Amino acid sequence: MAETSGVPQKQEDTWELLLASGKSSLLFYGLGSKRRAVNDFVDRRFGEYSTLKVNGFARSISAKQILDQISDGFKLGKSYKSREGLMKYAEDVIKALENLGEDLFLVIHTIDGNSLREQEHQKVLAKLAFCERIRMIATVDHVKAALLWDDSLLSQFQWVSFAMHTREPYTQEVMDSDVKLYSADASGGDGGRHTMASLEALWHSLTVNTQSIFACLMRIALRKDQTVVKMMDLYEAAREDFLVASMPVLQQQLIEFVDHEIISKGINKLGEEEVKILTTVSLLKGFLKQKGFNVDPEYGDGDDDDY
């Protein structure tokens, strides 16, 4: 049997046994998007069962919507009544599902997403996880996600946690969310600017070295008070900071930023290769400082406190 994104088959066997026991929920954490890897695992190992996949990144998602999808999908005939409240709705759906006698694999990508962080939503999800007919698999992307759950919720979720460092970009999560990757730039310019949300999504897919190279680029741009930096100037600065050993290595490190239209590369009139910063400099400067990098021209790189 094939492995999921480099995960050993023996590890997948362990996950499958834990879910089959009905006594545990799986929780994956780590660097990079875990969506593809988790979906691959669930599709191959439990493809014959009913599965509901939820994108916790979506700003419109809610515990009520998840309950609606379960009720509609299994034709349980249950609906939310405001006078009874969300918890009563969850209890009705769970009871109907148990009476039906069918199993559901509930996959929640980014269970710590902004829209699901409210205590009421987490209480409903915990109640679903505790249902004997539901097998829950979830991922988290925030380093302090565990603060969402007190002892009561943890006893219902019954998490068994595993590291899953894919280092894959969060492209699908951001594109599926209601937060646009770019916001309109009324001034013309490059036609789009990143938001803090899109930068955060991209940041988690980068290595510490790549993050430091970008901070180095920003320092040069701020020192020159320009949005265009000669590639050779960037290379020399990055080499002095022991971030790259050759120009091809630097070029490879910059691909992620080019793909996400944070920077572009071109040739000036003198035939010199240049890097142009496309995103608002003040936004990038604030974001990098938030991540522990001092991008003021006279300072070197700081430490990053990533996941």
Give the DSSP per-residue string, 152-214.
HHHHHH-EEEEE-------HHHHHHSSS-SEE--TT-TTS-EE-HHHHHHHHTTS-HHHHHHH
- Summarize the confidence of residues 185-205 as an average pLDDT: 59
- Per-residue pLDDT band at 108 (split at 50, 70, 90): very high
Residue with the two structure tokens 């991540």 = 291
Q: Which residues contact 223 (CB under 8 A, 6 or more apart)?
A: 297
Asked if the model's pLDDT at residue 175 lies above 60, the reply is no
Q: Buried b / exposed e across 198-213, counting CB within 10 Å, b at 16+?
A: bbbbbbbbbeeebbbb
Q: What is the pTM of this model?
A: 0.58
The residues of the chain that CATH labels 1.10.10.10 are 196-290
CATH superfamily ID and name for 9-176: P-loop containing nucleotide triphosphate hydrolases (3.40.50.300)
Question: How is residue 4 annotated by DSSP?
Answer: B
- Per-residue pLDDT band at 286 (split at 50, 70, 90): confident
Distance CA(240)–CA(232), nearest Å, equals 12
Give the whole-number percent of the chain exceeding pLDDT 90: 52
Distance CA(295)–CA(215), nearest Å, equals 6
CA max distance for the chain? 75
Distance CA(293)–CA(296), nearest Å, equals 9
Asked if the model's pLDDT at residue 210 lies above 50, the reply is yes
Q: Which of 76-85, 174-183, 270-279 comes out lowest in average pLDDT?
A: 174-183
- Per-residue pLDDT band at 168 (split at 50, 70, 90): confident
The residues of the chain that CATH labels 3.40.50.300 are 9-176
**In this predicted model, which residue has the larger pLDDT, 201 or 289?**
289
Mean pLDDT, all residues of the chain: 85
Q: Which residues contact 296 (CB under 8 A, 6 or more apart)?
A: 219, 222
Half-sphere exposure of 18 (CA within 13 A, CB side): 17
**In this predicted model, which residue has the larger pLDDT, 149 or 196?**
149
Backbone angles phi, psi at 266, to 5 degrees: -160, 180
**What pLDDT is stored for residue 192 in this prediction?**
43
Report the amino acid identity of residue 163: A
CATH architecture of 196-290: Orthogonal Bundle (1.10)
- Measured in whole angstroms, the distance separating CA 71 from the mean position of its chain's CA atoms is 28
**What pLDDT is stored for residue 297 in this prediction?**
61
Q: Which residues contact 229 (CB under 8 A, 6 or more apart)?
A: 217, 220, 221, 274, 275, 276, 277
**What pLDDT is stored for residue 186 in this prediction?**
32
Report the amino acid identity of residue 173: E
**In this predicted model, which residue has the larger pLDDT, 269 or 96?**
96
Sign of CA dihedral 282, 294, 275, 194: negative
Using H for helix, E for strand and C for coil, what is the string for 51-92? Answer: EEEEECCCCCCCHHHHHHHHHHHCCCCCCCCCCCCHHHHHHH
**In this predicted model, which residue has the larger pLDDT, 18 or 224?**
18
Distance CA(181)–CA(195), nearest Å, equals 7
- Per-residue pLDDT band at 182 (split at 50, 70, 90): very low
Distance CA(130)–CA(124), nearest Å, equals 10
